[in-house]
Structure 1
């Protein structure tokens, strides 16, 4: 996608330059044809593309040429010649992020970021969490640094742990379901039924393959998003609790303190 394409719905542009780096550009192309140069392009920053619907192709200077479909996470490093897009006249929905800085250079150098083209991480990281990070408008350099740290944390969730094989297809689908829309109420027995497993079997397998029971996994993701909203927005605790489906701000505060070891007010304090 041409980052100057006026059809792109831009969420962030030219965020502050900080000690950790900069969030240069972010947004979505929704059910549209991406505009790309004919040949390979080189960017001076990291480019993340997540295909949410549709399909296309990816090519790079190493000779990689393959189809990409919904679920593809493509992370390309600075200076790496590459191309991705749809066939002429075809459309897709893509979320993209352009970022730079020593925080991400360090992660890439240690192998924590996979900048080798398209991947299909399982379990897929939460798109709701990524959108929460990208839609924030930091009011200070410190808040901008927290935004970059939140982006780095999200990117680490796409990395394959050393020696890990990942969950089975049924459990991976359940993880995607539980991590995607953190604002909706989800009945765990319904999720179990969707996997074709009894609730007790589903809970045992989820815990064994993911490392947490399904409800604890979902609550952990919700609390991570709550922490991001505390750092990067002016939303009240009541508004955050309502957004993420907690009973009230007191319920959220108790869960937050138990998870992070401090109350939300202390976490938010600059």
Structure 2
């Protein structure tokens, strides 16, 4: 015995230009029928919240699926899977497509080479899928855009929920961000973690989808933008604060990556903050508010 609910969508060519569109969503549980063998022309994320079963890919090897887990179904890849007939499983799936899938794959959010991914928790992914399901109500004029936004959210939730990711993020990335403003080479950063440069590159590529050098650059430039926008520090002082002793090199690097010179960025964004720029992340449940007096 099993229960199933599903909806399918046909986004217009205009919606496809969003880069990512949702093609369908489903919620199922119980001893579901076997799927496949089949091959699809789009991506599907199958989130198994409870129960277990198996997955078989093109190599014919059978992989055990134990909840919580994610099954990636990718275009052109034959697949075959099923819930255990005795216990069944609780499943939610989202079909999606678009050119942004190539970028998400390059960044490591979609993993074609690892079709079965253990999850630490399926709650946030199920919440994103729930938003897609609610958007599927009849007559919703925002359907295509609302579901497309939720697919982006789902991919982030699935990346964060991977069982090999710590709850507070990847420790290597956290350490790199902490030390980003010190004049260290990639090899010196690696040595601080007891790693070779190649091991550090592999770890950062796996966690952030980029090289350590590029990751450090994004952290430095982010801080530089904050200092340019919120303080009156000279550009040379900003450069030193973010790890560059040569202000001319910093300006060239900033201009090439940001698309505008530091001085021009300050003119566009500058708003000096009396008392300095807060480094405390606001609580989403209690954001900063303007307090008005009675006079």
TM-score normalised by structure 1 residue count: 0.51
- Tell me, yes or no, if structure 1 residue 82 matches structure 2 residue 79: yes
Structure 2: gaps spanning 5 or more residues: 169-282, 290-295
- Distance change >3 Å, CA 130–CA 88, structure 1 → 2: closer
Match of 2:59 in 1: 62
Asked if structure 1 preserves the Cα contact closer than 8 Å seen for 2:21 and 2:147, the reply is no
Q: CA deviation at 1:139?
A: 1.1
Asked if 1:46 is matched to 2:71, the reply is no
Q: Which residue of 1 aligns with 2:153?
A: 153
Q: 1:32 to 1:135 in 2, by over 3 A?
A: farther
Q: After the TM superposition, which residues 166-177 of structure 1 pair with which residues of structure 2 at under 5 Å, given as runs?
A: 166-167=166-167
Q: Aligned in 2, Cα 1:151/1:257: closer, same or farther, shift over 3 Å?
A: farther
Larger radius of gyration: 2
Matched, 1:102 2:131: no
Which whole-Å CA distance do the structure 1 matches of 2:150 and 2:144 have between them?
10
1:258 aligned onto 2:287: yes
Q: Which runs of 5+ in 1 are unaligned?
A: 1-5, 169-253, 262-270
After superposition, the C-alpha distances for 1:153-187 in whole angstroms (9 at most, x for unaligned) are: 221232269xx75249xxxxxxxxxxxxxxxxxxx
Which residue pairs with 1:32 in the alignment?
31
Distance in 2, matches of 1:156 and 1:51, equals 17
Secondary structure in 1 matching 2:68 = coil
**3-state SS of paired residue (1:157):** helix
Distance 1:101 1:49, change over 3 A: same
What SS class does the counterpart of residue 79 from structure 1 fall into?
A: coil
Aligned length: 164
- Structure 2 distance, partners of 1:255, 1:110, is 27
Distance 1:91 1:128, change over 3 A: same
Residue 102 (structure 1) shift: 1.4
Change (3 A) 1:129 1:153: closer
Judged with a 3 Å threshold, the aligned counterparts in structure 2 of structure 1 residues 87 and 256 are, in CA distance, closer, same or farther, namely: closer
Q: 1:207: which partner in 2?
A: none
Alignment partners' CA distance in 2, 1:72 and 1:41: 21
Q: Are the equivalent residues in 1 in contact too, given 2:31–2:83 (CA < 8 A)? A: no
Partner of 2:88: 91
Alignment of 1:1-270 (within 5 A): 8-10=4-6, 12-17=7-12, 18=15, 19=17, 20-37=19-36, 40-88=37-85, 91-115=88-112, 116-126=114-124, 127-137=126-136, 138-140=140-142, 144-159=144-159, 165-167=165-167, 258=287
Which structure 1 residue ranges, 4+ long, deviate > 4 Å from structure 2? 87-90, 254-257
> Per-residue deviation at 1:146?
4.1
Report the Cα distance in structure 2 between the residues aligned to 1:46 and 1:96, rounded to whole angstroms. Answer: 10
Partner residue, 2:277: none
1:229-262 per-residue CA deviation (whole Å, 9 max, x = no partner) reads xxxxxxxxxxxxxxxxxxxxxxxxx957938x9x
Q: Normalising to structure 2: TM-score of the pair?
A: 0.47
Checking the alignment, whether the CA contact within 8 Å between 2:48 and 2:90 is kept in structure 1 is yes
Question: What SS does the aligned partner of 2:159 have?
Answer: coil
1:101-142 deviations in Å (ceiling 9; x for gaps): 1122321234332232111233545122331233214514xx
Query: Per the alignment, in what secondary structure is the counterpart of residue 59 of structure 2?
Result: coil
